[in-house]
Amino acid sequence: MESDVITQAVSERYARAVTNGEEMCCPTGYDHEDLRTFIPEPVLKVSYGCGTPVGLTTVQPGETVLDIGSGGGIDCFEASRRVGPTGRVIGIDMTDEMLAFARTHAPTVATNLGYSETNVDFRKGRAEAMPVEDEDVDLIVSNCVINLSPDKPKVFQEMFRILRRGGRFSISDIVADQNVPNYMIHDKEKWGDCLSGALPLHEYWNGLRKAGFLGIHQVNLIPWRVIDGIHFLSITLTGYKLTNPPATTSAFATLKGPFSQVTDELGHAFKRGIPEPIDRETAALLQSPFYQGLFVLSETAMGFTRSDAQWTEVLPEDITCVWDGYFAMLTGPFIEARDDDGHTFQCGIPAEICSKTHRVLQHDAYRPYFGVINRATQPGAHDAVICEPTGGCC
């Protein structure tokens, strides 16, 4: 299906929604009682998304926030409250009806917030060609919109272009555990349902990394729908456009765990407890959010063993296990990671796990790095088996 056909179909679908009050299908997580204190009720009724952009909680007064696919304006208005009257908010949408609706309610929101004028600028544009200057934004949010684009790599490139050094994104979107088949891709209605355009998680994550973002990691992941055996997931990802690497005295990095081995987003491999030489760019990456605490950075090579306090591991129980249909997906920030039971996980690619490994990944030390789905359509009659790191069932 041609890109222009997809774009037109999506635009018409959302124009109908805001005009007729049509319910959209994406999961949401808004606190309407809080938002109702300053956002008009009509805006709350057309809040389409798959999760409140958690990045808004990191906003500082005076920052500039951009919302891709601003729709009726709910996320822009929440950002307006958080950046304060000295900050700026830019909302981009391609649907005239949505833009008109949001602009209509912007003055009311400003008044309710006590501002002399609105600090929200709603602009018409497409995510693949955003009407925003280079490096003009501190934070990019987007709520179940990028999956609607027929050219997601271009969207990711545009995001990187407009973000300032040291800026970040926090985007909620729908992804899939596998490739969406052609019969869904060519269904115009399913594009509007956030289904046809859903990328496999590993493609989505790699697209952001190839655009230049680093520190890309899961903030939240919720299983949403299963259609014809395809699992659709609502995921919130955060990542960074790091500043230029400063001079540093850190020449070595040592992985603490809980993984036994990882490969970072720059392609460097680390084994737990073994110091590896690093350059300035790698040092900057390992000191960024979500990497912090996983490594020891030092001027000289500093290794350690299991008896040292820095060593972190989660060993599997020495028990039998069963295959229950669970699959685990590494969600960053590593390209690849290995646990203490011999399993190697590649970012975004589902790997079948037994019940024992499932319990390991529920541990607090592992949970932030994984999403877990169950592909079993019905309970099975399984015999327990013995798992061993060097053989056995897994």
Any idea which of 29-33, 71-75, 131-135 has the lowest mean pLDDT? 29-33
Structural domain boundaries in the chain: 3-240, 245-313, 320-392
Amino acid making up residue 340? D
Q: Work out the mean pLDDT of the chain and round it to a whole number.
A: 88
Residue 15 pLDDT: 44
pLDDT class of 394 with cuts at 50, 70, 90: low
Under 8 Å CB-to-CB from 183, ≥6 apart: which residues?
A: none
The CATH classification number of 320-392 equals 3.40.5.100
| Over residues 143-150, mean pLDDT | 90
Residue 362 pLDDT: 95
Query: Helix or strand or coil: residue 391?
Result: strand
| Over residues 176-202, mean pLDDT | 85
| Over residues 344-357, mean pLDDT | 96
The CATH classification number of 245-313 equals 3.40.5.100
CA distance from start to end of the chain: 41
Q: For residue 282, what are its two tokens?
A: 């790698």
Q: For residue 70, what are its two tokens?
A: 């601003």
Residue 8 pLDDT: 53
Indicate the pTM of the whole model. 0.89
| Over residues 334-355, mean pLDDT | 96
The pLDDT of residue 10 is above 50: no
The pLDDT of residue 390 is above 50: no
pLDDT class of 246 with cuts at 50, 70, 90: confident
CA proximity to 390, closest of 341, 355, 344, 336: 341
Given a contact cutoff of 8 angstroms between Cβ atoms, the answer to whether 226 and 376 are in contact is no
In this structure, whether the domain defined by 3-240 belongs to CATH 3.40.30.10 is answered with no
| Over residues 98-126, mean pLDDT | 97
Q: How far apart are CA 223 and CA 325, in angstroms?
A: 15
Share of the chain above pLDDT 70, in %: 85
Q: What is the pLDDT of residues 157-171, one digit of tens each?
A: 999 999 999 999 999
Residue 204 pLDDT: 97
The pLDDT of residue 194 is above 90: no
**Beta strand residue intervals within the chain, DSSP E:** 64-68, 88-93, 120-124, 137-143, 163-176, 214-227, 230-240, 252-255, 261-263, 269-271, 275-277, 295-298, 320-321, 326-330, 336-338, 344-346, 351-352, 370-374, 385-388, 391-392
* CATH topology agreement for domains 245-313 and 320-392: yes
Helical residues (DSSP H) of 41-95, grouped into ranges: 41-45, 74-83
Q: How far apart are CA 224 and CA 202, in angstroms?
A: 17
pLDDT class of 378 with cuts at 50, 70, 90: confident
| Over residues 160-186, mean pLDDT | 93
What are the C-alpha distances in Å from 227 to residues 131, 190, 233? 36, 11, 11
Residue 58 pLDDT: 87
pLDDT class of 296 with cuts at 50, 70, 90: very high
Residue 5 pLDDT: 46
Interior angle at CA 215, CA 211 and CA 218, nearest 5? 100
Any idea which of 115-129, 218-232, 256-270 has the lowest mean pLDDT? 218-232
Residue 244 pLDDT: 80
The pLDDT of residue 1 is above 70: no
pLDDT class of 53 with cuts at 50, 70, 90: low
Any idea which of 253-262, 332-341, 377-386 has the lowest mean pLDDT? 377-386
Chain CA centroid to CA 198, Å: 13
pLDDT class of 350 with cuts at 50, 70, 90: very high
Amino acid making up residue 275? P
Any idea which of 54-58, 171-175, 288-292 has the lowest mean pLDDT? 54-58
Q: How far apart are CA 259 and CA 267, in angstroms?
A: 16
- Does residue 69 or residue 319 have the better pLDDT? 69
Given a contact cutoff of 8 angstroms between Cβ atoms, the answer to whether 275 and 253 are in contact is yes
The pLDDT of residue 11 is above 50: no
Pairing of strands 88-93, 120-124: parallel
Q: How far apart are CA 285 and CA 275, in angstroms?
A: 16
Tokens 């230029």 appear where? Answer: 244
The pLDDT of residue 67 is above 70: yes
| Over residues 150-158, mean pLDDT | 96
pLDDT class of 382 with cuts at 50, 70, 90: low
Q: How far apart are CA 197 and CA 15, in angstroms?
A: 19
The pLDDT of residue 264 is above 90: yes
Share of the chain above pLDDT 90, in %: 71
Tokens 């060593």 appear where? Answer: 311
